[in-house]
């Protein structure tokens, strides 16, 4: 029997590095031309080879068809929202912030990124009727509008900064440039807060249907722990947007990440060896993120460490997608 495999996307976990390549393609990630942002995978069905007795013991009756349909619709919307926010229109904020931080170090500014049109994406982010409460729907709509306004403001200040950098007649020891950079960073923080709040609402509602979609699934523990791991990646990305990252919060992320990786990796793994091999590769990639996070806490979150974190996050997402494809034969 085919069982629904709950997929938790992590496409927002792009870390804002201080150095960004202005010549990268529009589809490139916000952080570096050397990394490739994994595309979100759609919700899919998984065929898992397992013994009859390997399924987890569940309390209560299995979900009804109506509950499964509602859960499927919610996860589908989560995937749509996550995919929309991974579009260059929204990730241009990360690109601009990365470019500005590079400017403050090297006094060179990359061209403003072309993010494209935002209206079609905003429409995809609109809360479906009846899926969220009225208060949640209003907050989500406000979040989308706050992101739009923040992007407009960031682009306007970025244009001013571009003109300033090109004007060789100005001699003010970088005063205006620093002021514009500070404005962009302040607006970026508002953008990040709006994006996090929006996805926090969607994630919370999606999490509420985990038990429905994973009822009796033999890989329930592994899938839930993978979701936690990707959530911790995103949490790290959010913390590293601050000028002075919260060290205590990052330590807590590291502790939780270690616990989730340990729980995800413990036997048994009730599936075929090929499926287990791909999941172990995901865990290996995720462990690289843990190593880089520990390095950052010990040495500081310099460009090289942030790139290691980003590479590990992207590699983990790609490895998890391979696991999903292996567990979902055509």
Question: In which band, very low, low, confident or very high, does the pLDDT at 139 lie, cut at 50, 70 and 90?
Answer: very high
Which CB contacts under 8 angstroms, 24+ apart, belong to 292-295? 293/236, 293/250, 293/253, 293/254, 293/257, 294/254
Lowest-confidence pick of 107-116, 122-131, 144-153: 107-116
Q: Which residues of 241-258 are buried (b: 16+ CB within 10 A; e: fewer)?
A: beeebeeeebeebbeebe
pLDDT at 270: 92
Q: What percent of the chain has pLDDT over 70?
A: 82
pLDDT over 80 (residue 324): no
Query: 64-68, 283-287, 295-299: which has the minimum mean pLDDT?
Result: 64-68
Using 50, 70 and 90 to split pLDDT, how confident is the model at 79? confident
Q: Tokens for 12, please give them.
A: 């927002």
Using CB atoms within 10 Å of the CB of residue 97, give its burial: 0 to 12 exposed, 13 to 18 middle, 19+ buried: buried
Residue 32 has pLDDT above 50, yes or no: no
**Model confidence band, residue 72 (pLDDT cutoffs 50, 70, 90):** confident
Residue 273: pLDDT band (50, 70, 90) is very high
Q: 21 vs 287, which has greater pLDDT? A: 287
Higher-pLDDT residue of 123 and 243 is: 123
Q: Which residue in the block uniquely carries the two structure tokens 């982010």?
A: 125
Mean pLDDT over residues 218-238, rounded? 89
Q: What is the pLDDT, as a whole number, of residue 47?
A: 36
Q: Is the pLDDT of residue 49 over 50?
A: no
**Contact yes or no for 232/260 (Cβ under 8 A):** yes
HSE-CB at 8 with a 13 A cutoff on CA atoms is: 29
Check whether 6 has a pLDDT greater than 50: no
pLDDT for the residue 141: 98
pLDDT digits (tens, 9 = 90+) for 244-264: 889 999 999 999 999 999 999
Weakest mean pLDDT among 1-15, 119-133, 257-271, 285-299: 1-15
Helix, strand or coil, per DSSP, at residue 153: helix
Task: Give pLDDT, residue 227.
Answer: 86
- Does residue 36 have a pLDDT over 80? no
* Cβ-count burial 37-48 (b if 16+ within 10 Å, e if not): bbebbebeebeb
String of b and e for 197-208 (b: at least 16 CB within 10 Å)? ebbebbbebbbe
> Does the pLDDT at position 180 exceed 60?
yes
Check whether 329 has a pLDDT greater than 80. Answer: no
The average pLDDT across 194-212 equals 88
pLDDT, one tens digit per residue, over 92-119 is: 998 999 899 899 989 999 999 988 899 9
Predicted pLDDT of residue 14: 47
């Amino acid at each position: 029997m085919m069982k629904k495999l709950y997929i938790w996307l992590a496409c927002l976990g792009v870390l804002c590095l201080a150095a960004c390549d202005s010549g990268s393609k529009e589809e490139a990630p916000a952080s570096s031309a050397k990394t490739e942002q994994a595309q979100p995978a759609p919700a899919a069905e998984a065929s898992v080879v397992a013994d009859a007795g390997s399924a987890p013991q569940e309390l209560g009756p299995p979900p009804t068809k109506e509950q499964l349909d509602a859960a499927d619709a919610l996860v589908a919307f989560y995937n749509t929202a996550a995919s929309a926010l991974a579009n260059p229109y929204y990730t241009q904020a990360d690109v601009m912030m990365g470019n500005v931080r590079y400017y403050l170090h090297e006094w060179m500014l990359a061209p403003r990124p072309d993010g494209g049109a935002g209206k079609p994406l905003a429409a995809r982010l609109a809360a479906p009727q009846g899926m969220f409460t009225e208060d949640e729907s209003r907050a989500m709509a406000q979040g989308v509008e706050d992101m739009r306004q923040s992007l407009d403001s960031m682009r306007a200040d970025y244009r001013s900064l571009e003109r300033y950098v090109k004007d060789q007649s100005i001699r003010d020891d970088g005063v205006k440039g620093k002021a514009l950079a500070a404005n962009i960073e302040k607006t970026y923080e508002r953008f990040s807060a709006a994006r996090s709040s929006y996805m926090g609402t969607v994630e919370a509602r999606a999490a509420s249907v985990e038990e429905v979609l994973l009822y009796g699934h033999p890989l329930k523990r592994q899938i839930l722990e993978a979701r936690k791991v990707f959530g911790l990646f995103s949490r790290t990305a959010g913390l590293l947007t601050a000028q002075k990252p919260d060290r205590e919060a990052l330590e807590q992320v590291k502790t939780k990440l270690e616990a989730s990786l340990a729980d995800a990796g413990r036997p048994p793994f009730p599936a075929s060896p090929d499926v287990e091999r791909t999941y172990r590769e995901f865990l290996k990639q995720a462990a690289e993120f843990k190593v880089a996070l520990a390095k950052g806490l010990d040495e500081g979150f310099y460009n090289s460490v942030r790139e290691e974190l980003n590479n590990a996050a992207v590699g983990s997402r790609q490895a998890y997608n391979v696991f999903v494809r292996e567990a979902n034969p055509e």
